């Protein structure tokens, strides 16, 4: 598979619009959520409906074929009752835009069945210095970064679109910091987006 | 990852080769993501100082004995964990850098006797597992679980962990223990010392000394099985939740609770301050974005908006409906004297669904780490929960002092009180911080040390501590020139002469390492 050339942060910041996303995810690559509807989805996205950002992100991935599961207040129940039973049915990726503690719990529960985190984005727009988005991944980060830069007020939706377009081939870990203006919002104003996958 | 102290690479490789023979290739971990999983994820910036050299995962008592044989031959330090989810206290990480983690998570046998209401569990059994096992068999029994409930039943019990039902004192409801000593000998305590005695998990005391406590919070053996008592499902379960408006209300609250705890009307009860309640449901940024602790104006806004008091208290009542009705009357009479108190009661009859907010009071394990999001970032916490007498005025003084100390380091004071015994509380004071923020980590470490030190000035101590503070806390037990520690050390030297079992656990070091440590500290 031919991979797109790596782009640096400056290039990401210069790119704009859907055309650039398409450029970074050419035909032939396997996007995260491209699965036939009506079958057991290979990608589950967890939604915390307390927070609009989480629900918007999940809906964005759902539009690309992922299945949404609502995060129960007991995260272990979400894992054991809703997610883990889907592993024998072909579940390969688990994603979410959640609070960080949820990633902490789910990462440890999923690790027992061989899942590994391949993308994490910290999104922070409380009153503080520094970039709003800190991303790290062992998959292609460019579509995600581009989507965030272009997303503006609809960053959670764009983030879902970007993650859905990401090519999944493993590569060396890459980190990126982006400072994009974020919308005024209520709530925590701190979320983590993440993707785990089962490769075996 | 580091090598064990005193090991060369070839020596370590040779030990690993022998360990693989015991447990199989897949169950010795010396590199990669799996090994990184044994680092302390909540470490306040000092994880590398407590990094293990590897992890070995036996699946049976025989394999545990095999691992101990190798460890003794090589003088390889082992750090025993059941699952390693003791996160605020170090997780799976060892006190001694380079130790090999002895991970017992593959030992997962459960046996339940529904008639006599007990379970026998191995180290890898979680509260979630035990709950599911009982539910799947439809046994009319409840467990008591800690919160979060993904940890090991055996591990939590050995660490003197607590829960929220009348069986919340986990060590108090343990009965019967199987231990592998450092030399590989298998011992069963109490009535288990008699082959086949059916009362092993039923009665704690037998003929001769009681040994079980020696293997809790210690490094004298590897506990491979315990018995725990289970609670019969009550006819009625009732949750009482109360709110109190003012900080100083804690004085009459505690004094009233003590009376009701001592006469048996209220079993285990929990008190939470405004921050513990708020952090369980919201994040700090929703109330205040500035640096430093929340100002009083923000606390006032928060309590008003959330409709909570400065303090909340809750407990379950369990049993026959008529008895519970009388107990509730006594509760109302005792607490209604406190001005502004608000009281709510929810009652569930046997078989009725219990909602998530009341799950832990019914022994239903769940996992939600919401409070760790308080400051955003990658939330973590450390703490050294104090054991405090159940006296209101004394506690208010301590609370105000600890609030000052938390605030001086820029943190909000997270405070909880749980009374699993009728005369004292476990006072949790979680220091919540962003583990990716070096400056916050440094402040968290400083505050942790200050809180322990300040408590000692009042002659109070924690009952657990993070691995980085175990020596510091242990040194405070100074009666008769630390006579208790000298006894522990004599036991350690007799039971584990090669010093392979969990060196440094609770401040107990084997002879060689003790001498090195003392020489470094200039002690004789």
**Could you tell me if B356 lies within 8 Å of chain A, comparing CB atoms?**
yes
A82 touches chain B (CB under 8 A): no
CA dihedral for A9, A11, A12, A13, sign (positive or negative): positive
Q: Quick one: closest CA in B to A100, which residue? A: B378
pTM summary value: 0.92
**Residue the block writes with tokens 């709510």:** B344
Furthest-apart CA atoms within chain A: distance in Å = 45
**B290-309 tens-digit pLDDT:** 889 999 999 999 999 999 99
In B245-323, DSSP assigns E strands to 269-273, 311-319
Strand intervals (E) in B1-124: 28-29, 54-56, 78-81, 100-103, 110-113, 118-121
Of B286, B367, B373, the CB nearest to A100: B373
Average pLDDT for residues A90-112, to the nearest whole number? Answer: 96
pLDDT for position B518? 74
Q: Given this model, what pLDDT does residue B289 score?
A: 85
Top residue of A76, A124, A170 to mutate, by most chain B CBs within 10 Å, is: A76
Q: Looking at the complex, does the CB of residue B372 fall below 8 Å from at least one CB of chain A?
A: yes
Does ipTM come in above 0.90? yes
Distance of residue B439 Cα from the nearest chain A Cα, in angstroms:
14
What gap in Å lies between CA B348 and CA B470, rounded to an integer? 42
A121-178: per-residue pLDDT in tens? 999 988 666 778 999 999 999 999 999 988 877 999 999 999 999 988 889 999 999 9
Hey, are the CB atoms on A76 and B370 less than 8 Å from each other? no
Query: Cβ of B150 under 8 Å from any chain A Cβ?
Result: yes
Task: Report the candidate in B483, B484, B489, B480 with the shortest Cα–Cα distance to residue B515.
Answer: B489
Tens of pLDDT, residues B60-87: 999 999 999 999 999 999 999 999 999 9
Cα nearest neighbour of B149 on chain A = A76
Interface check A127 vs B, CB under 8 A: yes
Contact yes or no for A74 and B356 at CB 8 A:
yes
Burial-class residue B436 by CB neighbours within 10 Å (0-12, 13-18, 19+): middle
d(CA B310, CA B416): 12
What pLDDT is attached to residue A21? 27
Instruction: Provide CB contacts within 8 A for B132, sequence distance 6+.
Output: none
Q: How far is CA A162 from the centre of its chain?
A: 8
- Structural contact between residues B414 and B444, judged by C-beta atoms closer than 8 angstroms: no
Q: Is the pLDDT of residue A33 over 80?
A: no
A99 in contact with B at a CB cutoff of 8 Å?
yes
B464 classed as catalytic: yes
B38, B42, B89, B488: which is the annotated catalytic residue?
B89
CA-to-CA distance for B160 and B303, rounded, in angstroms? 33
Residue B233 C-beta-side C-alpha neighbours within 13 Å: 16
How many angstroms separate the CA atoms of B24 and B58, rounded?
9
What count of residues does chain B have?
524
Average pLDDT, chain B: 96
Q: Specify the 3-state DSSP secondary structure of B407.
A: helix
pLDDT of residue B378: 95
Q: Answer yes or no: B288 catalytic.
A: no
Tokens of B490: 């004599």
Specify the pLDDT at position A126: 84
Non-local (6+) Cβ contacts of B240 within 8 A are B314, B315, B316, B317, B328, B331, B343, B344, B345
Tell me the per-residue pLDDT of B484-495, one tens digit each, with 9 for 90 and over. 999 999 999 999
CB B182 within 8 A of CB B176: no
Distance CA(A41)–CA(A67), nearest Å, equals 6
Rounded to an integer, what distance in angstroms lies between the CA atom of residue B127 and that of residue A118? 30
A190 in B contact zone (CB under 8 Å): yes
Interface test with A, best of B57, B289, B373 (most A CBs within 10 A): B373
Structure tokens at B157: 């019990």
pLDDT in tens, B162-218: 999 999 999 999 999 999 999 999 999 999 999 999 999 999 999 999 999 999 999
- Residue A3: the pLDDT is 25
Closest CA to A32 of A127, A130, A143, A107: A143
Full pLDDT tens readout for chain B, 524 residues:
899 999 999 999 999 999 999 999 999 999 988 999 999 999 999 999 999 999 999 999 999 999 999 999 999 999 999 999 999 999 999 999 999 999 999 999 999 999 999 999 999 999 999 999 999 999 999 999 999 999 999 999 999 999 999 999 999 999 999 999 999 999 999 999 999 999 999 999 999 999 999 999 999 999 999 999 999 999 999 999 999 999 999 999 999 999 999 999 999 999 999 999 999 999 999 999 888 999 999 999 999 999 999 999 999 999 999 999 999 999 999 999 999 999 999 999 999 999 999 999 999 999 999 999 999 999 999 999 999 999 999 999 999 999 999 999 999 999 999 999 999 999 999 999 999 999 999 999 999 999 999 999 999 999 999 999 999 999 999 999 999 999 999 999 999 999 999 999 999 999 999 987 777 666 65
Partners of A193 in beta bridges: A97, A121
CB B320 within 8 A of CB B236: yes
Q: How far is CA B183 from CA B123, B221, B506, in A?
A: 20, 9, 21
B56 contacts B65 by C-beta, under 8 angstroms: no
Which of B283, B290, B368 is the closest to A74 by Cβ? B368
Separation between Cα atoms, residue B508 and residue B29, nearest integer Å: 26
Model pLDDT, residue A1: 23
Distances in whole angstroms, Cα of residue B372 to Cα of each of B59, B279, B292, B460:
33, 8, 17, 26
Active site residue B118: no
Please give, rounded to a whole number of angstroms, the shortest distance from the CA of A139 to a CA of chain B: 17
B472: Cβ contacts below 8 Å, ≥ 6 apart? B449, B452, B465
Q: Looking at residue A200, what is its pLDDT?
A: 65
User: DSSP labels for B437-494?
Assistant: -HHHHHHHHHHHHHHHHHHHHTT--BS---GGGHHHHHTT--HHHHHHHHHHHHHHHH
Taking alpha carbons only, the member of B173, B200, B1, B161 closest to residue B82 is B161
Across the beta sheet with B311-319, the strand order is B342-349, B236-244, B311-319, B269-273, B416-421, B424-428, B386-389
* Rounded Cα–Cα distance for residues B266 and B331 (Å): 8
Cβ separation of A126 and B377 shorter than 8 Å? no
Shortest alpha-carbon distance between residue A19 and chain B (Å): 33
The one catalytic residue in B314, B464, B488, B514 is B464
- Is the minimum CB–CB distance between A101 and chain B shorter than 8 Å? yes
**How far A39 CA sits from the closest chain B CA (Å)?**
29
């Amino acid at each position: 598979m031919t991979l797109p050339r790596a782009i640096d942060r400056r290039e990401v910041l210069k790119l704009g619009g859907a055309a650039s996303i398409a450029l970074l995810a050419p035909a032939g690559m396997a996007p995260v959520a491209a699965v036939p509807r009506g079958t057991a989805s290979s990608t589950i996205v967890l939604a915390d409906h307390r927070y609009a950002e989480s629900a918007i992100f999940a809906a964005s991935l759902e539009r690309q074929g992922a299945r949404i599961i609502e995060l129960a207040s007991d995260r272990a129940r979400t894992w054991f009752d809703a997610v883990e039973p889907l592993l024998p049915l072909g579940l390969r990726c688990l994603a979410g835009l959640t609070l960080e503690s949820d990633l902490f719990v789910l990462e440890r529960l999923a690790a027992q069945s061989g899942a590994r985190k391949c993308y994490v984005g910290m999104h922070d727009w409380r009153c503080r210095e520094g970039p709003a988005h800190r991303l790290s991944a062992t998959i292609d980060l460019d579509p995600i970064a581009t989507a965030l830069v272009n997303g503006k007020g609809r960053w959670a939706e764009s983030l879902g679109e970007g993650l859905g377009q990401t090519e999944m081939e493993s590569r060396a870990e890459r980190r990126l910091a982006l400072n994009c203006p974020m919308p005024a919002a209520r709530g925590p104003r701190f979320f983590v987006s993440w993707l785990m996958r089962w490769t075996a | 990852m580091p090598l064990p102290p005193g090991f060369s690479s070839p020596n370590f490789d040779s030990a690993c080769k022998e360990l693989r023979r015991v447990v199989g290739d897949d169950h010795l971990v010396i590199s990669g993501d799996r090994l990184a999983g044994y680092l302390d994820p909540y470490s306040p910036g000092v994880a590398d100082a407590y990094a293990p050299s590897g992890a070995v995962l036996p699946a049976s008592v025989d394999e545990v004995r095999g691992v101990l044989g190798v460890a003794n031959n090589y003088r390889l330090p082992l750090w025993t964990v059941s699952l390693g989810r003791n996160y605020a206290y170090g997780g799976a990480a060892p006190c001694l850098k380079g130790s090999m983690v002895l991970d017992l998570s593959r030992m997962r046998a459960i046996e339940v006797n529904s008639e006599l209401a007990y379970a026998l569990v191995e180290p890898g059994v979680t509260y979630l597992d035990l709950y599911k096992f009982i539910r799947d068999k439809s046994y009319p029994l409840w467990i008591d679980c800690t919160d979060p409930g993904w940890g090991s039943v055996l591990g939590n019990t050995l660490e003197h962990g607590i829960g929220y039902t009348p069986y919340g004192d986990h060590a108090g409801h343990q009965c019967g223990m199987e231990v592998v000593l450092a030399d590989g000998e298998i011992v069963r305590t109490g009535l288990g010392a008699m082959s086949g005695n059916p009362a092993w998990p039923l009665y704690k005391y037998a003929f001769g000394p009681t040994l079980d406590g020696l293997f809790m919070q210690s490094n004298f053996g590897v506990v491979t099985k315990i018995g725990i008592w289970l609670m019969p499902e009550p006819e009625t379960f009732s949750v009482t939740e109360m709110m109190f408006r003012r900080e100083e209300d804690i004085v009459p609250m505690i004094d009233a609770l003590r009376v009701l705890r001592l006469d048996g009307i209220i079993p285990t009860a929990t008190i939470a301050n405004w921050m513990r309640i708020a952090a369980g449901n919201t994040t700090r940024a929703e109330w205040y974005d500035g640096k430093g602790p929340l100002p009083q104006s923000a606390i006032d806004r928060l309590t008003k908006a959330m409709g909570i008091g400065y303090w909340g208290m809750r407990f379950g009542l369990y049993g026959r409906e008529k008895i519970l009705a009388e107990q509730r009357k006594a509760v109302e009479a005792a607490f209604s004297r406190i001005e502004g108190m608000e009281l709510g009661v929810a009652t569930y009859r046997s078989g009725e669904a219990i909602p998530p907010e009341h799950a832990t009071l019914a022994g239903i394990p769940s996992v939600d780490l919401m409070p760790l999001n308080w400051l955003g970032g990658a939330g973590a916490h450390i703490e050294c929960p104090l054991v405090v007498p159940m006296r209101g005025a004394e506690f208010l003084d301590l609370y105000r002092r600890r609030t000052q100390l938390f605030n001086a380091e820029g943190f909000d004071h997270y405070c909880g009180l749980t009374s699993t015994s009728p005369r004292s509380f476990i006072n949790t004071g979680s220091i919540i911080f962003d583990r990716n923020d070096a400056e916050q980590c440094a402040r968290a470490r400083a505050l942790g040390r200050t809180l322990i030190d300040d408590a000692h000035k009042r002659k109070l101590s924690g009952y657990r501590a993070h691995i980085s503070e175990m020596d510091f806390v242990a040194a405070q037990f100074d009666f008769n020139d630390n006579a208790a520690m000298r006894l522990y050390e004599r036991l350690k030297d007799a039971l584990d002469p090669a010093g392979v079992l969990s060196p440094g656990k609770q401040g107990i070091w084997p002879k060689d390492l003790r001498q090195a440590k003392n020489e470094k500290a200039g002690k004789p």
